[in-house]
Structure 1
Amino acid sequence: MSIINGESDARLAVTAAQAGAAVVRELYGSRLARYDKSAGDFATEADLAAERAILDVLRAARPEDAVTGEESGRSGAADAPRRWLVDPLCGTLNYAVRNMLVGVNVALREGDRITAAATADPFSGEVFWTDGDNARLHGDGADERLTPWPGSALVDVNLDPPFPNAPGFHATRLLADPGFAERFRPRVVSSTLAVAWVAAGRRAAYVTDGDLRDSVHFAAGIALCEAAGCVVTGLYGEPVLTGARGLVAAADAETHAALLQLINRQRAQEG
């Protein structure tokens, strides 16, 4: 765990995520301008303002570090050994229709490893954080260890495009598989806050398609799950974050194996 000027990277991640969460909370319910990004995707003034608040914290404390922001893009040296990955409001569509299921993600990548990360829930005040080795929940002035638990059988499945692994894998077909319904109960939160919930024992697993390399959306949640002891891979069991192979984050090995079996059966049917 790096400590610079008396502050650890993990604590800085928490502080930055809290700064973004405060903005998201303050602007909730306001009439906000929208900025189109691509088909079906947009940012609001809350996304932009929260990212500015996060970057202010990071740049004041670590001016030499590079940053990739969901809204502002990349800054700093392209080959910087330390890069912060910032998703200021994950669940923008939820937020825009006054649904509070959103998260604020901040993660530090050093080399090929996430060494500090935080996901803040702006409305509960909780912050899920890791120093790369331990995973904790900060709330009510105290920190407690994150403990995964598969007992709920609740599995969040991301249904948002793109789907780079279709037709070999498609999330809707996973939900329609009788084997899924026999064992699991689906949920669709549409925010990577749900990945942190796997680490915290509030979900049995999370599944998404997509290219997650250097992802500002998923880096924090994956780091939380790994530090908490979850089983985390790509869709077909390969190391996560190595390509366009999505994510399966499960509370335990049994849940993970069951989901991979369903996913691989889908791919075999297409083959």
Structure 2
Amino acid sequence: MLIVNAGTDAELAVAAAQAGAAVVRDMYGASLTRFEKSAGDFATVADLEAEKVILDVIRTARPDDAATGEESGRTGADGTERMWLVDPLCGTLNYAVRNMLVAVNVALRVGTDITAAASADPFAGEVFWTDGERACVRRDSVDEELRPSRESRLVDVNLDPPFPNEPGFRAARLLTDTAFAQRFRPRVVSTTLAVAWVAAGRRAAYVTDGHLRDSVHFASGIALCQAAGCVVTGIHGQPLHTGAGGLVVAADQETHAALIQMAGNQVPL
């Protein structure tokens, strides 16, 4: 697929995510072949087709860059500092049962930094994007700055494995914490679209376990939240991608501090 005048890396991320989102939207509701992976996970033909289109957009505009796709793995030249991270359909199980809560994620890592990213919602017609400094949502070709907010009190919790920090921490146990129930309202949408929603003020926070460095699922959402001014750390408040890993991203310091305290309460003294 030829993209003319791709411009900046951020615009290329947006174009690639929108191209993938168009495939996801067009194939929605069809009877889709499933390709089994591991531990009950699977991909559909929509995942594969969306990833192919996204990678075609990127390779046409940046032929010397490398890429890592959720379905196809790493491709491109060795030794390059520029690596595109592609999750063509985050929320495959939702999508397979005709649930529209999905995201198409594209991010560019240059060296150790994510410098451009986009998360597209195929069904709302929105794409959340950042160039590493600004964070915006694009609707009908109009950009609006993302503004985090804790007002909803909604906290999205990822309940899917793996759980590398068991038994010391498990995100699901937050839901039974009395302090959590008094302060927040849990949500589980099972797609990293919810991470972008923290940047957009539609969630107060997001919590997950796991080691997320170079994650095709989380790189875009994390970059969006950082650029929007959210508080982004590991599950115990440590710098991201260090120690126990995991992710707590919150709209503000107060919300973040409360969740870090609750996570710490799970650790045996």
With the length of structure 1 as denominator, give the TM-score of the two structures.
Answer: 0.96
Shift of 1:140: 2.1
The residue aligned with 1:134 is: 134
The residue aligned with 1:171 is: 171
| Greater shift in the superposed pair: 98-107 or 133-142 | 133-142
Shift of 1:40: 1.6
Q: Is the Cα–Cα contact under 8 Å of residues 211 and 243 in structure 1 kept in the other structure?
A: no
Structure 2 distance, partners of 1:135, 1:227, is 6
The residue aligned with 1:152 is: 152
The residue aligned with 2:225 is: 225
Change (3 A) 1:50 1:243: farther
The residue aligned with 2:193 is: 193
Change (3 A) 1:243 1:85: farther
Shift of 1:245: 1.1
One-letter code aligned to 1:174: L
Q: Is the Cα–Cα contact under 8 Å of residues 101 and 189 in structure 1 kept in the other structure?
A: yes
* Aligned CA-pair RMSD: 1.2
One-letter code aligned to 2:241: L
Q: Percent identity?
A: 72
One-letter code aligned to 2:75: S
The residue aligned with 2:209 is: 209
1:84-125 deviation digits (Å, cap 9, x = unpaired):
000000000000000000000000000111000000000011
Shift of 1:5: 6.6
One-letter code aligned to 1:34: R
Shift of 1:264: 0.5
Structure 2 distance, partners of 1:94, 1:54, is 21
The residue aligned with 2:235 is: 235
1:36-80 deviation digits (Å, cap 9, x = unpaired):
110120000000000000000000000000000000000123431
Structure 2 distance, partners of 1:232, 1:31, is 39
The residue aligned with 2:76 is: 76
Q: How many equivalent pairs are there?
A: 266
Structure 1 distance, partners of 2:75, 2:173, is 39
Shift of 1:249: 0.5
Verify: 1:246 aligned to 2:218, yes or no. no
One-letter code aligned to 1:255: T
Change (3 A) 1:6 1:70: closer
Verify: 1:54 aligned to 2:54, yes or no. yes
With the length of structure 2 as denominator, give the TM-score of the two structures.
Answer: 0.97
Structure 2 distance, partners of 1:90, 1:244, is 24
Q: Is the Cα–Cα contact under 8 Å of residues 6 and 61 in structure 2 kept in the other structure?
A: no
Structure 2 distance, partners of 1:240, 1:219, is 12
The residue aligned with 2:29 is: 29
The residue aligned with 1:92 is: 92
Structure 2 distance, partners of 1:203, 1:142, is 22
Structure 2 distance, partners of 1:82, 1:236, is 30
Q: Is the Cα–Cα contact under 8 Å of residues 68 and 84 in structure 2 kept in the other structure?
A: yes
The residue aligned with 1:16 is: 16
Structure 2 distance, partners of 1:175, 1:79, is 44
Structure 2 distance, partners of 1:86, 1:243, is 25
| SS, match of residue 7 in structure 1 | coil
Structure 2 distance, partners of 1:15, 1:244, is 35
One-letter code aligned to 1:151: E
Shift of 1:242: 3.6
Structure 2 distance, partners of 1:87, 1:239, is 24
Please, which runs of 5 or more residues in structure 2 have no aligned partner? none
The residue aligned with 1:266 is: 266
Structure 1 distance, partners of 2:75, 2:243, is 23
